[in-house]
Amino acid sequence: MTERVTPEAAAAAAQAGPVPTGAAIPPGAGPALQPTIFELSRPGRGGGKVAHPPKDALDRIPAGMRRTAPPALPELDEPTVARHYVNLSHLNYSIETGFYPLGSCTMKYNPKVDEWAARLNGFAALHPFAPDENAQGTLQLLWELERALAEISGMEAVTLQPAAGAQGELTGILMVRAYHRARGDTDRTEVLVPDTAHGTNPATASMAGFTTVSIPSAPDGGVDLEAFRAALGPRTAAIMITNPSTYGLFERRIADLIEMVHVAGALAYMDGANLNAIMGRFRPGDAGFDVMHFNVHKTFSTPHGGGGPGAGPVGVRGALAPYLPVPRVLREPDGTFRLERAGERPRSVGRVRSFVGNVGVLVRAYAYILAHGGRGLAEVSEDAVLAANYLRKRVGESFEIPFDRVCMHEFVASAAGLKRETGIRTLDVAKRLIDHGFHPPTIYFPLTIEEGMLIEPTETESVETLDAFADALAAIAREARETPDLVRSAPRTAPVRRLDEAAAARQPNLRWRPAAGAETPCPD
């Protein structure tokens, strides 16, 4: 499934695609992949040390449960082990080594002071079962964070409990369901989802027992009002809309959409994953949204991606407040803080996560919000929008831009024209970007754009980095016309060549097996 790159081949390929000024050096570019830890093993080198084992240790294990042969573990000395894993870490691409242009993901550089705050012993070492009187600092932080998020969003109440944006979506839709059921409005079984929404939106509606109705886009990238009006009716429970959308566009008709939803007796849900484009400029609650979730790990700090920690707080307007998950943090008249007690809010949808949420992520968000303040958060959005529009213009010199209008924090480009002209696809462009020193953007998403690339520069990258990225894409477009085989065979400087991604997904090799004869290092 992989083809190892020799040092000679890597050196030759590097000459074909030099790293531009402002780009990151490709992680692991040049040298071949190092041996596995099993291949580094030497008999007797590990020492096999067990400190002071009891003489009768084996006698304590039933005979039928003892091994007949020692486990096939690698034997290495400590320096070799340490160097092996440090060398492996150098193959990783990270925000500290380069620019992530991933659209819809907000992989931005986060302040290290937020990491420091989350590691403070009073937060990090607090036992989750600590009584309220011993957790006053953490409870106060959570109470204040709820209010900060309410102020930013224009919502009236917030829960911090959901552990991710997708779980925040589910929490919001469960509250929508509880609201309608409490009113006896049980015929509302449909949720309208524009085709520019995040893919988790229809999945969330289905998990909550609703039928999803997809709404197509209009030519300008917004929601098709006529299709929306035709789908809206007495069976509609809610609309789930991502605003700005995955096209990177702000919905110009949002006021009309929300008014139509409310007239029909339904509720309006906003996916807040793209909040970093609108802070200080647009408050969803003021616009009439009834419920929204926040991806605080996208907007307010925390390293994002790789299945790491997240948090998906949910904000609601007044009618949905009784249904928020329990427990919430309450402030007593004497200024102390406590968690809600069992049965205190009987209409709640219940608990959606253990304890009060992912507190480490919430501490980071709190630190980020305090450090920036209201004006600073507005500047974050302004800088994100400025960077995206600057890069949109630069990339538009080499690739098609489907929607020629001001974007928000991200934009869509397309290699469809390049494919018709040269046969080079978006996947080829993405792989060649690795040779030019950049992480590829999100590709083939949104699904409605042919040969699409969703690009998000975030607010943290310099103009030099943005120019270097645009220059790399321009160089790849020239290469596609002049030396298409060079692009089609990319990456050429990475530790491995192009993977069979379909086979990797369907038949993954999840453990090492010793090679046999001419087999690859990881035979089936």
Residue-wise pLDDT for 378-435, tens only, equals 999 999 999 999 999 999 999 999 998 999 999 999 999 999 999 999 999 999 999 9
Q: Which two tokens stand for residue 308?
A: 């790491």
Give the residue from 370, 399, 419 where a domain finishes: 370
Q: How much is the pLDDT for 306?
A: 57
Say if residue 360 is in the same domain as residue 438: no
Mean pLDDT of 293-300: 92
Q: Is 47 part of a structural domain of the chain? A: no
First and final C-alpha spacing in the chain: 11
Q: What percentage of residues in the chain have a pLDDT greater than 90?
A: 73
Q: Is residue 519 part of a domain?
A: no
Q: Are residues 350 and 458 in the same domain?
A: no
My answer on whether 235 and 286 are in the same domain is yes
Query: What is the reported pLDDT for 515?
Result: 61
| Co-location of 134 and 94 in the same domain | no
Q: At 126, is the pLDDT very low, low, confident or very high (cuts 50, 70, 90)?
A: very high
DSSP 296-315: HHHHS-S---TT------EE
User: Between 99 and 90, whose confidence is greater?
Assistant: 99
453 with 434, same domain: the answer is: yes
Q: What are phi and psi of 434, to 5 degrees?
A: -60, -40
Q: Is residue 194 part of a domain?
A: yes
pLDDT at 70: 80
pLDDT mean over 175-204: 95
Decide if 64 is inside a domain: no
Q: Is residue 394 part of a domain?
A: no
Say what the pLDDT of residue 221 is: 95
Name the more confident of 511 and 29: 511
177 falls in which pLDDT band (50, 70, 90)?
very high
CATH number of the domain where residue 459 is located: 3.90.1150.10
Q: What's the whole-number mean pLDDT along residues 264-270?
A: 98
Summarised one tens digit per residue, pLDDT across range 225-258 is 999 999 999 999 999 999 999 999 999 999 999 9
100 lies in which domain range?
1-41+78-106+409-513
One DSSP character per residue, 56-105 reads: TTGGGS-GGGS-SS--------HHHHHHHHHHHHTT---TTTS---BTTT
pLDDT of residue 266: 98
For the residues 64-79, what does the mean pLDDT come to?
88
13: pLDDT strictly greater than 50: no
Residues 315 and 439 in one domain: no
pLDDT surpassing 70 at residue 12: no
* pLDDT band with cut points at 50, 70 and 90 for residue 10: very low
- Asked which of 26-30, 131-135, 449-453, 483-487 is least confident by mean pLDDT, the reply is 26-30
Query: Does 139 lie in the same domain as 5?
Result: no
Residue 523 within a domain = no
466: which DSSP letter?
Answer: H
pLDDT at 350: 95
Residue 522 DSSP label: S
Answer whether residue 523 shows pLDDT above 50.
no
Pair (351, 250) in one structural domain: yes
Find the Cα–Cα–Cα–Cα dihedral 178, 199, 167, 282, rounded to 10°.
-80
Task: Give the pLDDT mean for 252-265.
Answer: 96
Number of domains within the chain: 2
Q: What is the DSSP secondary structure assignment for residue 352, as one 8-state letter? A: S
pLDDT for the residue 491: 94
Instruction: Output the pLDDT for position 175.
Output: 98
Residue at token pair 């400025």 = 386
Same domain, 99 and 244: no
User: Does some domain include residue 22?
Assistant: yes
Pick 47 or 77 by higher pLDDT: 77
d(CA 168, CA 208): 12
β 190-194/236-242 pair status: parallel
Q: Of the candidates 370, 391, 421, which is a domain's last residue?
A: 370
Separation CA 212–CA 236 (nearest Å): 10
**Domain termination residue (choose one: 342, 370, 398):** 370
CATH number at residue 252: 3.40.640.10
Amino acid 92: pLDDT: 83
| 14 vs 99, residue with greater confidence | 99
Q: What is the pLDDT of residues 345-383, one digit of tens each?
A: 999 999 999 889 999 999 999 999 999 999 999 999 999
Check whether residue 99 and residue 195 sit in a common domain: no
Domain identity same for 92 and 123: no
| pLDDT score of 23 more than 50 | no
- What is the rounded average pLDDT of the residues 461-469? 97
Distance CA 317, CA 344 (A): 20
What pLDDT, on a 0 to 100 scale, did the predictor assign at position 305? 63
Average pLDDT, the chain: 89
Query: Predicted confidence band at 137 (pLDDT cuts at 50, 70, 90)?
Result: very high
For residues 294 and 168, the answer to whether their CB atoms sit within 8 Å is yes
**pLDDT band for position 6 (cuts 50, 70, 90):** very low
Q: Is residue 346 part of a domain?
A: yes
- Which residues make Cβ contacts (< 8 Å) with residue 488, sequence separation at least 6? 423, 424, 428
Q: What average pLDDT does range 82-104 have in this prediction?
A: 89
Do residues 354 and 492 both lie within one domain?
no
